[in-house]
Amino acid sequence: MAKHRIGWLPGDGIGAEVLAAARVVLDRLRLDAEYHEGDIGWEYWRREGDAFPQRTVDLLKSVDVAMFGAVTSKPVRTAEAELTPALQGKGLVYRSPIVRMRQLFDLYVCLRPCKAYPGNPLNYKEGIDLVIFRENTEDLYAGVEFGTVPEELATILGRLSKNFTPFQKLPGDEYAISCKINTRAGSERIARQAFEFAKKSGRKRVTIVHKANVVRATDGLFLESAREVAAEYPEIAVGDANVDAVCMWLLKNPFNYDVLVAPNLYGDIISDLCAQMVGGLGFGCSGNIGSELAVFEPTHGSAPKYAGLNKVNPIATILAAKMMLDWLGEEDKASRLEDAVAAVVAEGVVRTYDMGGTNTTSEMAEAVAARL
Ligand code: NAI
Ligand code: MG
């Protein structure tokens, strides 16, 4: 197998520490890889006015896969004020680099496995093993938003939608519009990934998550598209449910679910809920997967208050590295890594603060590496 070219994007805060921990285990696995470090995050926004500089975009074009730590994001007003003085007043607008990356590279699958490793004191219940497929490029995250609604738009909406009338009377700065945009192709392809995964991994059931009874146009399209794909997989049980009900039922009985597929926002929400049931942010791992590139990351952010303290749990990032190995076709190393994590969790000797222990980030990485 050719040497893997891996983009390495630590980002801000604890991003560097958790990626360093992942590197300890990858090196111990003797993964044949070269790592190409890239600049991303708040510091580049401040200094250059771009949190995701073009050189990093180019770097991602040249690698097979990437690991991403976390970035700090702040509200628009704070973002402008923190720019280096030479860049202020130029109308630069902060945009989340990870959302941009997903769109630019069409990383349309957000894959979030949530497995309760036996013996984790943070498990909500032992035995939970859920996999979420979140659509990653469309929906309310399409980025088509109006903080102030232009009159042109108000006029068109007033003309086309009877239901818009009460809003049309408001001044444009008294309301805001974020567009939820879902396509048939986008809904079909995420559903297909979920069903293909279920088929290949011997999973029994896929649940389509939506709110089609209220958000009729977009979620209706998502549900209809996913149902059409489901018909091609008669061997897999299919169900659908409203997102609010799913949140309740997941807590009541997580064992009624297996694979879940959802539009972007609902997928984001239910995957955090599921991650919390299997240990919280220290265990939540995620893959942003497209047809050309995939970027793996912990789901947590930059946790500024823990930055530089060597304190947070690196398991989320180590599990993200495990997902990367699977994606690279290094299944053997991936399963060795997962077994090592499971062994350390089961043993319960090395635990970071979130698990009720006092061990450091690097001690946890070493403990996993020692089991490889
Ligand atoms: P966060 O996920 O960074 O941290 C919240 C809290 O969760 C931490 O204070 C800590 O108590 C706990 N935590 C996080 N990671 C942990 C780990 N590995 N081990 C143990 N405990 C852990 O969320 P927060 O504080 O809301 O956001 C901080 C910054 O990160 C913000 O600027 C936010 O915009 C950004 N963010 C970035 C994300 C990304 O890069 N993908 C995702 C979420 C937030
Ligand atoms: Mg989230």
> Ligand 2 centre from 284 Cα, in Å?
10
For residue 72, give the ligand 1 atom closest to its CA: 32
> Ligand 2 centre from 68 Cα, in Å?
15
pLDDT for 340-352, tens place per residue?
Answer: 999 999 999 999 9
> Ligand 1 centre from 313 Cα, in Å?
12
Q: Which domain holds residue 149?
A: 145-178
Mean pLDDT over the full length of the chain: 96
Closest ligand to 75 CA? 1
- 332: domain CATH number is 3.40.718.10
- How many separate domains does the chain show? 3
pLDDT for 195-225, tens place per residue?
Answer: 999 999 999 999 999 999 999 999 999 999 9
**Does residue 266 lie in a domain region?**
yes
pLDDT for 33-77, tens place per residue?
Answer: 999 999 999 999 999 999 999 999 999 999 999 999 999 998 877
User: Is the pLDDT score of 323 beyond 80?
Assistant: yes
**Does residue 119 lie in a domain region?**
no
99 lines ligand 1 (CB under 6 A): no
**Does residue 122 lie in a domain region?**
no
**Does residue 139 lie in a domain region?**
no
- 233: domain CATH number is 3.40.50.2300
313 lines ligand 1 (CB under 6 A): yes
Q: Decide which of 2 and 367 is more confident.
A: 367
User: Is the pLDDT score of 1 beyond 70?
Assistant: no
**SS3 annotation, the chain:** CCCEEEEEEEECCCHHHHHHHHHHHHHHCCCCEEEEECCCCHHHHHHHCCCCCHHHHHHHHHCCEEEEEECCCCCHHHHHHCCCHHHCCCCCCCCCHHHHHHHHCCCCEEEEEEECCCCCCCECCCCCEEEEEEECCCECCCCCEECCCCHHHHHHHHHHCHHHHHHHCCCHHHCCEECCECCHHHHHHHHHHHHHHHHHCCCCEEEEEECCCCCHHHHHHHHHHHHHHHCCCCCCEEEEEEHHHHHHHHHHCHHHCCEEEECHHHHHHHHHHHHHHECHHHCCEEEEECCCCEEEEECCCCCHHHCCCCCCCCHHHHHHHHHHHHHCCCHHHHHHHHHHHHHHHHHCCCCCHHHCCCCCHHHHHHHHHHCC
For residue 74, give the ligand 1 atom closest to its CA: 32
pLDDT of residue 163: 87
For residue 303, give the ligand 1 atom closest to its CA: 3
182 lines ligand 1 (CB under 6 A): no
| The last residue of a domain, from among 255, 277, 299 | 277
